[in-house]
Homo-oligomer: A and B are copies of this chain.
Amino acid sequence: MTTTPLRKDAARNWDRIVAVARDLVDEGTPLQLNDVARRAGLGVGTVYRHFATPEALLETVATPCLESLVAHGEEALADTEAGRALERFLTRTVEAQVTDASLAPVTAAPADFLPRTTELKQALWSAGEILLGRAREAGAVRADLTSADLVPLMCGVAYAVQVHGGASADRIDVAHRYLTALLQGLRTTRPDS
């Protein structure tokens, strides 16, 4: 209800554009508005009308995924076991980044192009911040881990998976292995014995 509902034909074009962009992102092709227009069988102007910049389009592609992460973040906030809640949250985040190529660049970007993106990212990071705070209070994580580290670390894991390469089917396993190690390292160091 934030935006005026689009006319039916315009909505169809909007969908087409986003679908084409989705495909391009999935096949690793950089988003170029002219290119998108050609593939969607639309005029360039149409694409520019809907998305002023490639970044705006990319963020739009990433939005559903961000929304689902936010939803998951809210669920995690309901978990009373602080350490577990944080780990689930982070795991889900990394899984998403590894699965959906649109996510990593949007997440790592220092500035957003759509207000909606900013909203979602803030919602996400504030959930992370709360979860981290609780986990720290519970003595479940290292004291030197701050909320400003969450995004970088998740991006780092996702990037590591990408550098590792390999079939996209295997990526998720690699991601789990890397994340498992990292999370283990982030837990409070118990004195041996």
List chain A positions with a Cβ less than 8 A from chain B: 108, 110, 142, 144-145, 148-149, 151-153, 155-157, 159-161, 163-165, 174, 177-178, 180-186, 189-190, 192-193
Most buried by B among A145, A152, A165: A152
With both chains docked as a complex, state the minimum distance between the C-beta of A41 and any C-beta of chain B, in angstroms.
14
Docked complex Cα distance between A148 and B160 (Å) = 11
Docked complex Cα distance between A70 and B190 (Å) = 35
Docked complex Cα distance between A181 and B159 (Å) = 17
With both chains docked as a complex, state the minimum distance between the C-beta of A33 and any C-beta of chain B, in angstroms.
15
CB-nearest residue of chain B relative to A184?
Answer: B185
Given contacts A156-B156, A156-B157, contact A164 B148 (CB under 8 A): yes
